Amino acid sequence: MQLAIAHTLAAMKAPEITTIFFDFGNVLLPINVEATYDALARLGAKKTLHKHHPVFKDWERGTVAPDEFLSQLRTELKFAASSFSIWDAWNAMILPFPAENARLLMQLRKKYRLVLVSNINHEHERYIIKMMGPFGYGNFLRQFHGIYYSHHMGMRKPEAAFFEKVLTDQKLKAESVLFIDDTDENIRAAENLGINCWHFKPEKDSLSDLGKVLSAHRW
């Protein structure tokens, strides 16, 4: 009887988490998207611009060049704006990278395979490199076994193809992965593929709780 129970418990035990997929913005890197919406509004854009204009998703996929992105945004502005003003507004959301997150990644990579999966665009990548400095940014990237930026891939989260590409490239089974992201639709898409998820809510969650989350997925 006890042997049968032991076999049942072993079968119920969740596969070991070997890999962590990290979103970038609002998980590793704090952002304040309202700062960008407000800055664009001061240039004459509607506060709901990001919700109805298709250019933003294409921009994240990398299928729109920077000049074309600027051109399409200008059609939504009431006032004439220089490229500098628009980029300044676009980058207003990005906050300093926390030193404690850099230390956390260095510790985690000793035990886990770390993969960066982000719907980042050309301009934000350029701005973050400038903000962190080439050395700091390079050291940040070195903590990861794989880096998947939507604008380099031509696809974005929550598209299933995005996650499938990462799993295939990294030779991973979905059940061995913990995905951390702040966006509900991205979480749902990953869960549909069998990936373990932590729906990270930056207003109340902290990456310092990651150990507890990983422990909760062991059973």
Task: State the pLDDT at residue 11.
Answer: 43
Distance between CA 139 and CA 143 in Å, rounded? 7
Long-range (24+ apart) CB contacts under 8 A made by 67-73 are 69/123, 73/40, 73/45
Q: Which residues pair with residue 117 across a beta bridge?
A: 148
The end-to-end CA distance of the chain, in Å, is: 21
Domains of the chain: residue spans and CATH: 2-31+98-216 (3.40.50.1000), 33-93 (1.10.150)
- The pTM (predicted TM-score) of the whole model is 0.90
What lies within 8 Å, CB to CB, of 118 at 6+ separation is 23, 24, 25, 148, 149, 150
Distance between CA 60 and CA 150 in Å, rounded? 6
Write out the chain's pLDDT in tens, 219 residues.
Answer: 444 433 443 444 567 999 999 999 999 999 999 999 999 999 999 877 877 788 999 999 999 999 999 999 999 999 899 999 999 999 999 999 999 999 999 999 999 999 999 999 999 999 999 999 999 999 999 999 999 999 999 999 999 999 999 999 999 999 999 999 999 999 999 999 999 999 999 999 999 999 999 988 764
Distance between CA 106 and CA 29 in Å, rounded? 16
